Amino acid sequence: MPDTSAGQDFLVQRQALDRVQFHPIEPDLQALQPGQILLAVDRFAFTSNNITYAVTGDTLSYWKFFPAAPPWGQIPVWGFADVVASNSDAIAAGERIYGFLPMSTHMLARVGKVAAASFTESSAHRAALPLAYNVYLRCGGDPAYRQPLENLQALLRPLFTTSFLLDDFFSELLSDAGRAGGTQLILSSASSKTAFGTAFMLSRNRSGRPDYEVIGLTSPGNLKFVESLGCYDRVISYDQVTSLAQRPSAYIDMAGNGDVRSALHHHLREHMTYSCQVGAAHWDQASAPQDLPGAKPTLFFAPTQLQKRTQEWGSGQLQQRIAAAWSAFIDLADGSLAVVAQSGPQAIESVYRATLTGKASPDKGYILSF
């Protein structure tokens, strides 16, 4: 557990993500306001999804969760923390928490609504931000929590929730052939954890849906790994997109590479019936012509679909469905990913830069701590 008398933040420049610094902080255990708790961050995952948070930090308000003085920003991560001080009647010191954390040794939170398995963060600056990111799980009351699987939970649970919601979203589109009945579902950055989680769900839930083929796009160096996952019907490299059949297609863009998006749209033209961007792994190649043939690219924002299903199904039923799918997926992930745990500022910066430049190994999952 980090030292509670001193700590540090990992900060990046919002408009120049390759510029970073470690900023010292001094948490004050005695200055907690009523309802506040202080968390010591134990470990967190870092994936290309976190690069997406940085790339869309202004447009989707990710910089607002853990504010830093401009031009700096603090990238959110998912991981585990321990309550080291509490001025809350509901959350005691010593509790272990899972949720949305800063890249820091510490996090100050204000406890809002409390349940046996969770609580909401109710700080004023987070009131208008998506609820999905403001819910923290109390490990002692979370029925899905398994201590030996903490690393995989940090790496995959938030990403898999997006995969679940993408599959759910496309189940509606596929049933409405007049709007987006694609017979080819094309996923870029197919080696990414969100992409192969989505491919797993799409392949698993074919029953009762129109026929479709799940196609993964990846770099030549990742072809063998993506094929070994067994989630895709077919895997091709980015330079082979013109080999795709010109038939109704939907594009799930995990990479955010404008050149690939443009090539696909111009090749498929009117056969591109739906096109959405989920991630921005190729953040430095994001520009693309605005006027593309076929369906206009749109943004898939997972919290919107989560809120929709929460209202329609109820939170309890939604979480049960996600938990059931997660149990099936974790078996695949456990055999496909090698967890790499590293600690210290040098390791954090090294993994960050490797992920930022697309050099992180897709078959490895990085767990970091200060």
Please write the tens of the pLDDT for every residue from 34-80.
Answer: 999 999 999 999 988 899 899 989 988 999 999 999 999 999 999 99
The hierarchical CATH code for the domain 7-145+337-369 is 3.90.180.10
Between 154 and 174, the more confident residue is: 154
Q: Which CATH architecture has domain 159-303?
A: 3-Layer(aba) Sandwich (3.40)
* Residue 5 pLDDT: 56
* Residue 2 pLDDT: 42
Domain with CATH 3.40.50.720 in the chain: 159-303
- To the question of pTM greater than 0.95 for the whole model, the response is no
- 3-state class (DSSP) for residue 212: coil
* Residue 1 pLDDT: 43
Domain with CATH 3.90.180.10 in the chain: 7-145+337-369
Which of the residue ranges 102-111, 224-233, 300-309, 315-324 would you say has the lowest mean pLDDT?
A: 315-324
